[in-house]
Copies of this chain bind each other. A is one copy, B any other.
Amino acid sequence: MSCENAVRRLSEYRRILCKLKALGFTKVFSDHLAGAIDVSPALVRKDFADFGLTGNRKSGYSVGELIDKLNRILLKEHTEEVIMVGCGGIGRALMNYNGFAGEGIRITAGFDSNPDLQNCDAAIPVLDISRLEVYINSHRIRTAIMTVPETYAGTMADRLAAAGIRAILNFSPITLKNLPGCFIRNVNFLYELENVIYFSAQDTPE
């Protein structure tokens, strides 16, 4: 999948734009956005062109219009329902985080094999993993966050894909490849840390 970086920039643009809107701005120029996320104005325009976001010569882009269109592209017109698979340390931190709600993302349920963690009455219910497929199907869930131990990550991804999940955000330290019909993005804290530690020893990280 090639345009991951471009989509990431869309998220960044959107974030800046929302702040501008809150400040009362109605127009914005490629130049300004470029400065805010540290790329060239040309890239901003190209990103926008690639995703069908248009502006007006001389008067720039409309903040409100951009946000609306970005919301459509990033599936933010309706709340996106996501499930959490594995409700240990990281899983719970994410479930307790209240920053997603305002961004049109809701974690609607968690799943875990450990009965001690299961709780149907919690704000976000944690269900037994055996109920995974039925839940995905009945709630038409397309996206999952996966925070199970490494050992189970591979088979769990297969299981999620088979159950109809179309995309997985994987936090386990094994790098999973996309499955047919299911996009997988891996987040590996160890690699992030190693990266940061590497650069801590480089000259003039600038």
Taking beta carbons and an 8 Å cutoff, which residues of A are in contact with B?
1, 4, 7-8, 10-12, 15, 37-38, 73-75, 80, 82, 89-90, 92-94, 96-97, 99-100, 103, 105, 142-143, 145, 165-169, 173, 175, 177-178, 180-183, 185, 187-202, 204-206
Give the chain B neighbours of A11 by CB distance below 8 A: 188, 190-191, 194-195
A185 lies within 8 A of B195 (CB): yes
Give the chain B neighbours of A80 by CB distance below 8 A: 197
Stoichiometry (number of copies): 2
Give the chain B neighbours of A204 by CB distance below 8 A: 181
Closest CB in chain B relative to A150 CB, distance in Å? 9
A89 lies within 8 A of B82 (CB): no
Q: Is the interface of A mostly helix, strand, loop or mixed?
A: mixed
Closest CB in chain B relative to A72 CB, distance in Å? 11
A8 lies within 8 A of B166 (CB): no
A202's contact among B97, B183, B194, B199, by CB below 8 Å, is which? B183
Q: Which 6 interchain pairs have the tightest Cβ spacing? A: A167-B200, A183-B205, A183-B199, A166-B200, A93-B93, A89-B93
Give the chain B neighbours of A167 by CB distance below 8 A: 196-197, 199-200, 205
